[in-house]
């Protein structure tokens, strides 16, 4: 996820500067991201309609969505899949836990739900524009350790 955010921040900055498309090598250099990881990530982002690829000599990748319309939570789901800590809490991939007899009284679900809903309030409010406009917010997201 970190590499996707770093690449999108580079593309958002490039768009704000009015520059054209960037080749994958340039995105990798500017975002300090290994090119081999970017190829797959950029393909996913292109297929999701967040960026476009332009062929030709002056081709590359460009951000086609307004950074304010690119929600961080959507990116998380796109790149990493469901973000809920338990399948019974997922909005997009809900599944009842196999060993659960009653969701309404499940103590694990209740404990994780409180933390998860607080997380969702924050993550659903963040956009790519927030990361680009607020260096402090971007640094916090990018400095956070990757989940195990």
Return the domain boundaries, the chain: 71-126
In this model, does residue 137 exceed pLDDT 70? no
Identify which has the larger pLDDT, 58 or 128: 128
Per-residue pLDDT at 118: 87
Among 1-10, 24-33, 36-45, 84-93, whose mean pLDDT is lowest? 84-93
Structure confidence at residue 48 (pLDDT):
92
Per the document, the length of the chain is 148
Q: C-alpha 87: how far from its chain's center?
A: 20
Give per-residue pLDDT as tens, 34-72.
988 898 999 999 999 999 998 888 789 999 999 999 999
Q: List the one residue out of 46, 29, 34 whose CA is nearest residue 3.
A: 34
Q: Which residues pair with 53 in a beta bridge?
A: 61
The model carries a pTM of 0.75
**What are the tens digits of pLDDT across the range 67-121?**
999 999 889 888 888 888 888 888 778 888 888 888 888 888 888 898 888 888 8
Cα diameter, the chain: 61
The enclosing H or E element of 61 equals strand 60-63
């Amino acid at each position: 996820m970190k590499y996707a955010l770093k690449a999108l921040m580079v593309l958002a900055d490039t768009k704000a500067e009015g520059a054209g498309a960037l080749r994958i090598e340039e995105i990798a250099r500017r975002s300090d991201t290994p090119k081999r990881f970017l190829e797959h990530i950029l393909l996913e982002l292109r297929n999701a309609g967040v960026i476009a690829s332009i062929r030709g000599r002056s081709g590359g990748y460009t951000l086609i969505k307004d950074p304010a319309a690119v929600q961080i939570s959507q990116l998380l789901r796109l790149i990493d899949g469901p973000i809920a800590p338990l399948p019974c809490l997922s909005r997009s991939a809900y599944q009842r836990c196999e060993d659960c007899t009653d969701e309404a009284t499940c103590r694990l679900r209740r404990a994780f739900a409180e933390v998860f809903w607080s997380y969702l309030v924050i993550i659903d409010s963040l956009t790519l524009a927030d990361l680009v406009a607020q260096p402090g917010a971007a640094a916090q997201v990018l400095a956070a350790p990757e989940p195990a």
